Structure 1
Amino acid sequence: MSVFNSSRLQNKTVLITGASGGIGEAAAVLFAKAGSNVILAARREEALQKVEAACRAAHQESGVSAGGKFCSVKLDVSDKAQVKTFMDNVPTELKDVDVVVNNAGFVLGTERVGEIADDDIEAMFATNVFGLISVTQHFIKSFKTRNTGHIINIGSVSGREPYVGGSIYCSTKHAVSAFTGSLMREVVDTQIRVTEIQPGMVETNFSVVRYRGDKGAADNVYNGLQPMVAEDIAEEIVWAASRPPHVNLAQVYVLPVNQASATISYRAPK
């Protein structure tokens, strides 16, 4: 049975943070194709409108009659006040969220310990860790009341293995992995599912942000090998969400074929 036409996702309501581009955008479009309703949340309102239009087009092209309800909400997950109130701007028919995809996150710089700006440290933790926790806490209460729901956290290979120049980002993703594992154990007596997706190299705007807009440095990260793209990770997210209700895909560690770990990869000679 194809994941993309599975009735398990039809009419489900999915919230995706960081939905204005990259993995978040790709996942939103794929959920739309599968007949889900999607709440798109991110800081960039104009970009969100474009993703919402792409979702509507994808749903229409799919021919699936279920789902097809979409809305965009401005949300900075690092702002606790916004997390508490952003659902007030969501239509009533979309307020009972079934799946939360905590995708918002980023990395800044490659500086080593002792050279890292305090603002960069605080920004990465505020979004990658505190924001993810805030969003999860907001929805887990409803999930427990309804005894259903699915939290999908986007971790990273960096949450499995630290590396030089990544001390803060790796720390945030190790925190995501620990938080996800603890949450899964806490809700083991419920029907709530908890998943962590841990991607390796994915060519999105991720490295451009890390290198502060230096496109050449960002492109060099992927030279000599074929990285994954946003759609590859979106398929893993939607796959996890479409498993039977009694099946929890707890952790998905996904790499391009020429990457074996955070620090081991093969690059074809020039």
Structure 2
Amino acid sequence: MDAAKYISTLNQVAPPTHSPDRADFAVVDLAVDSKLLERIYGAMTHEPVQWRSLFEQTSWSTEWRHGPVLVDLRKASEFQKSLADQMTRHSIGLLLRSDWSMDELHAHFVHWIHDGLPVKGSLLRVQEPRKLGALLCVLGDTQRQALLNGASTWFWHDSHTWRTATPEKHEPLTHSSIPPGVSPDQLEAMAPYWLASEAQGCSEHYRESLAHHDAPEHWVLKRLLEGDQAGFKTSSHLERWLRLAILHGAGFHRRAPFAALLDEPQTTSNDRLSAMEGAVENQHAPV
């Protein structure tokens, strides 16, 4: 699949959208923000906010302070706005519109998060907004429908823009024979779709430097895929890789002096990037 196909698939499954003006529920991750539970309790003094840990009655129940919780926002419009604002700045979770009850939606997420473990001892964090679009892209149509069925509309911020997803039908709660598990192959296949979302965000951020490219998003994604293949896996490292490509052109890593620095043994990703960033500067430094 080429760069254009990854981007078009992502936009079809999880298209960009605007910040939601209304949400009934949120799933937020207490492990991401140590002050989040304090904010929930603070909101409860002003509005009728209810919440439940998604670690209830599981082997992670004692770790509930470091896991996802479901928050009922149907009578808490101010807290919903506050959460939406936080989500544009930090990847703390997602927002939902759903006509299910709190108990039904809680059961739905527990079913997916805990019964759907990809590897024993690992946790499928469906509330992870930076990777949710990529996850939806690798699920089969039936499996994706089963997951999305919990809400009529899903909203999340992927660190660059808001995205949304909707099921074909928002039906009553049922746990059919559809397995909730996500296979290792599916998890591995998520990478290029996550990079597609990064490419869209980066191409907007660097649009002036990319103005001479006919399809900036596609060009950026190809560079990010090259960076991923070279072993750079975090968004910060990949953005530094992209800046090098913007400065020195596509395929820069196959040319001197970058090729030798990239293959330098026993160095960290950060050290290799720093060496490549400084290589040209050192060449032109005054003697």
What interval of TM-score do these two structures reach, taking the shorter chain for normalisation?
under 0.3
> Which structure has the greater CA radius of gyration?
2
Query: TM-score normalized by structure 2?
Result: 0.24
